[in-house]
Structure 1
Amino acid sequence: MGYGFSREDVAFLTSAAGTAALAEVDRLELTPATHLRDLERVRRAHGAVTPALIDTVRLRRKASAKLSGAAQWLFTDDALQQATPSLVARARAQRLAGRAVHDVTCSIGAELAELARVCPAVLGSDLDDVRLRMAAHNLAHSPASGNVLVAKADALVPVSRDTVVIADPARRADGRRTHDPAKLQPPLPDLLAAYAGRDIAVKCAPGLDFDSLDGSGEVEVVSLDGAVREACLWSPGLTEPGVTRRATVLSSTGAPVVLTDAEPDDIPERAPGDWIIDPDGAIVRAGLVRHYAARHGLWQLDPQIAYLTGDRVPAGLRGFRILDRLELREKALRQELARRDCGALEILVRGVDIDPDALRKRLKLRGAQPYTLVLTRIGRTGTAFLCTAHRA
């Protein structure tokens, strides 16, 4: 759960004395091995504010991989966990460039910092006093903040006009992560009802049951560096004509890839080609596997399975060159892998109920050659493809 920060903690941490104390604590290792020694040292110097100092330094270090320019920010543990990664927030902000925006669940301000770069007026509101104070501090330490106002307000009670509304409901109910739209905080149906007729974008977990929604507008699934991060629901006024599903594939090192259901999805039915391609999770979750295949001249191993195949690998992607097609029987796999001197084995699974880690242990591989094993089904037949991995 992390330390429960108070308004008094935030007041101290944002003071000159707090800034100096944080710099002092940041020089400590703060590792499990040094925990007791570091804790005692900080407690002797700073007394009751020790937990706030140590947690802030730890959270800043943790945030460095997720949020850009957050070395002087303040967080709570929960707020940092739910904060949108900077690259994801930046991509959303670009879709709203030039619009006035109101983030009705602004928390510690991660979205506000990116919106401020491209939007002429930005309002952030929340019911949590501590997070609002942290947001104000964080924005003051962001590149663009002069056009941002933060205020206390209930997300379900509209307090702005002529703005695009952004919301990020909490995805935990009764201490557990939930994919039920009605159990989000605030509940998604209530949120959409409160802003009926308004332009609104709602960030949700990628596991949300999209089919339970009314189907209007667009569902965008976003991944970052290969990991699916979120789904975002966009109201009709914020979408392109004919688009109801979008996959946005972001990378820390390359240009984004965007795919929508407005693109063609006609692909042939053919035998497996030379390669197997495992599409990015955002493409799979958005239901755009066929669209992606059509864009790159690929086809599916099976119409119900998300693995693609073809005679080449799209530029910049990792593909698996098929060496052999085997029966999905453990004994046969063990014999063939031993014959090929297999050591390190990557196992990919779709459409069959197999635990890759458990199977890898049972295969008892002791060789020197690395391989990839793709386990799936074609029709009702379990199939194994022995491959080598390459990047185009």
Structure 2
Amino acid sequence: MAVVFTRGDVAYLTGPGQGALAEVAARPLTEANRVSDIAWARSRFGDRAAILVETVLLRRRAVVKLAELGAVDTWLFTDEAVQQATAGAVALHRARRLAGRVVHDATCSVGTELAALRDSASLLIGSDLDEVRLAMAQHNVGDRAQLCRADALRPVTRDAVVVVDPARRSSGRRTFDPRDYAPPLDELLQVYRDRDLVVKCAPGVDFGQLADLGFSSEVQITSLAGSVREACLWSPGLTESGVTRRATVLDKSGRVAEELTDADPDDCPAAPAGRWIVDPDGAVVRAGLVRHYAARHGLWQLDPAIAYLSGDELPSGTRGFEVIEQIAYNEKRLRQALSAHDASAVEILVRGVDVDPDALRSKLKLKRSGAQLSVVITRIGAGAASRSTAFICRPSR
């Protein structure tokens, strides 16, 4: 169970408890040492041990996730704040779109978004209902933002871009309906209907639900180092005319590797596999911009309803799969083909076919030594003409 912090705890941790924090931070607190380290902390600091240990552990988690925001190893956090915080590189990229604007983070929590915005916004305001998190934010961001206690559904600013990151967990469980966010998305959209608004949502937010709630502006899907991190809603005044979907692909250093919108060309045929198969980044797939990506890079679809692409040249910087053999898929035929290619390990990618990659891999009886290959299994065609196909490939890296 996560530790619950109080205002008194924040005052202690930012004042007389700093020396105690340094002592606890010097302990390993790894799984192997944690029981003994906690026992030591209790004997040394009594009832304060729990908040000291929790703060050290949260700081260590935050350094991995938020290093781009600065010296987060000196910040204060709650467990939920670290869980919900956007990865530093993603937050910084989003902040650049708000350069020069007055920005009000209406759910500022412990201040991670404020830290990302500090070099972009001309003026920063942060508010939250949670007094403990506001106290933590005051410590974390200092005088870089004006802070106040306020309800996000009761506006306290004018002429500012409002940024909101609704809580998407209830009693430790994820909430998938945006009307169950805290604050609810439908109420946010209504309250700020005439304002410039940015709302962070779960990456898997249902576009149909957004439309039902009356949102028709831009949804940006962002990935970092190959992992889809968030969906972000941008009100009409903050995006280009005609853009309703955007895919932003950030590399592991946080630089933009690819960015597409639904205003880009999407002329993309479907044709048999060429030399390479390409599995587009998850942000591209999630944003529904596979055809746009293909058109940009001279690729084509293996099937109009499937996100795998193919081409005779691999786009620069993209990982692809060089086709060695194509077979009608079944387990026995695939096992025989992999044996013929001396495969000792396979990466299995699946779309449009009911196959569990881990379960399949255990049935392939691969050799102990040999080639490292990839298998792309997909459905091609529709209705009676539909067929499951496997491509045995050599990965580019």
TM-score, structure 1 normalization: 0.96
- CA distance, structure 1, for counterparts of residue 112 and residue 365 of structure 2: 47
The residue aligned with 1:226 is 226
Deviations for 1:253-289, whole angstroms, at most 9, x for unmatched residues? 3630211111100012322110001100000000000
The residue aligned with 1:133 is 135
The residue aligned with 2:306 is 305
The residue aligned with 1:255 is 255
- CA distance, structure 1, for counterparts of residue 305 and residue 278 of structure 2: 15
The residue aligned with 1:180 is 177
Could you tell me whether the CA contact under 8 Å between 2:348 and 2:374 is conserved in 1? yes
The residue aligned with 2:336 is 335
Could you tell me whether the CA contact under 8 Å between 1:341 and 1:367 is conserved in 2? no
- CA distance, structure 2, for counterparts of residue 24 and residue 109 of structure 1: 26
Q: Does 1:35 align with 2:41?
A: no
SS at match of 1:240: coil
- CA distance, structure 2, for counterparts of residue 60 and residue 273 of structure 1: 49
Alignment counterpart, residue 150 of structure 1, candidates 147, 151, 158:
147
- CA distance, structure 2, for counterparts of residue 185 and residue 215 of structure 1: 18
Could you tell me whether the CA contact under 8 Å between 1:246 and 1:261 is conserved in 2? yes
- CA distance, structure 1, for counterparts of residue 251 and residue 74 of structure 2: 25
Question: Which amino acid in the other structure matches residue 129 of structure 1?
Answer: E
Could you tell me whether the CA contact under 8 Å between 1:98 and 1:119 is conserved in 2? yes
The residue aligned with 1:164 is 161
- Give the C-alpha shift of residue 342 in structure 1: 1.1
- CA distance, structure 1, for counterparts of residue 318 and residue 252 of structure 2: 15
- CA distance, structure 2, for counterparts of residue 352 and residue 85 of structure 1: 33
- CA distance, structure 2, for counterparts of residue 319 and residue 378 of structure 1: 19
Map 1:188-199; keep pairs closer than 5 Å. 188-199=185-196
- CA distance, structure 1, for counterparts of residue 57 and residue 171 of structure 2: 26
Could you tell me whether the CA contact under 8 Å between 2:224 and 2:254 is conserved in 1? no
Could you tell me whether the CA contact under 8 Å between 2:126 and 2:147 is conserved in 1? yes
The residue aligned with 2:56 is 57
Question: Which amino acid in the other structure matches residue 232 of structure 1?
Answer: C
- CA distance, structure 2, for counterparts of residue 255 and residue 175 of structure 1: 33
Map 1:242-391; keep pairs closer than 5 Å. 242-253=242-253, 255-256=255-256, 257-368=258-369, 369-379=371-381, 380-391=386-397
Could you tell me whether the CA contact under 8 Å between 1:276 and 1:307 is conserved in 2? yes
The residue aligned with 1:143 is none
Q: Structure 1 pair 215/193, CA: closer, same or farther in 2 (3 Å)?
A: closer
SS at match of 1:259: strand
Could you tell me whether the CA contact under 8 Å between 2:89 and 2:253 is conserved in 1? no
- CA distance, structure 2, for counterparts of residue 310 and residue 202 of structure 1: 37
The residue aligned with 1:203 is 200
Could you tell me whether the CA contact under 8 Å between 2:169 and 2:175 is conserved in 1? yes
SS at match of 1:60: helix
SS at match of 1:332: helix
Q: Structure 1 pair 22/97, CA: closer, same or farther in 2 (3 Å)?
A: same
Between stretches 373-382 and 30-39, larger displacement belongs to 30-39
Percent identical across equivalent pairs?
Answer: 57
SS at match of 2:147: strand
TM-score, structure 2 normalization: 0.95
SS at match of 1:196: coil
Q: Structure 1 pair 254/89, CA: closer, same or farther in 2 (3 Å)?
A: closer
Could you tell me whether the CA contact under 8 Å between 2:90 and 2:254 is conserved in 1? no
- CA distance, structure 1, for counterparts of residue 232 and residue 76 of structure 2: 26
Between stretches 326-335 and 146-155, larger displacement belongs to 146-155
Could you tell me whether the CA contact under 8 Å between 1:127 and 1:153 is conserved in 2? yes
Deviations for 1:211-256, whole angstroms, at most 9, x for unmatched residues? 2222421000011111100000100010111211100111233630
The residue aligned with 1:13 is 13
Between stretches 292-301 and 64-73, larger displacement belongs to 64-73
- CA distance, structure 1, for counterparts of residue 368 and residue 281 of structure 2: 30
CA RMSD of aligned residues (A): 1.2
- Give the C-alpha shift of residue 147 in structure 1: 4.0
Q: Does 1:78 align with 2:80?
A: yes
Give the unaligned 5+ runs of structure 2.
none
- Give the C-alpha shift of residue 290 in structure 1: 0.3
SS at match of 1:65: helix
The residue aligned with 1:44 is 43
- CA distance, structure 1, for counterparts of residue 169 and residue 254 of structure 2: 33
Deviations for 1:366-392, whole angstroms, at most 9, x for unmatched residues? 24211000011111110000001114x
- CA distance, structure 1, for counterparts of residue 388 and residue 217 of structure 2: 38
Could you tell me whether the CA contact under 8 Å between 1:120 and 1:147 is conserved in 2? no
- CA distance, structure 2, for counterparts of residue 185 and residue 98 of structure 1: 29
Between stretches 365-374 and 70-79, larger displacement belongs to 365-374
Give the unaligned 5+ runs of structure 1.
141-145
Q: How many residues align?
A: 385
SS at match of 1:268: coil
Question: Which amino acid in the other structure matches residue 17 of structure 2?
Answer: G
Deviations for 1:175-224, whole angstroms, at most 9, x for unmatched residues? 42122111111110001111110000100001111122224210000111
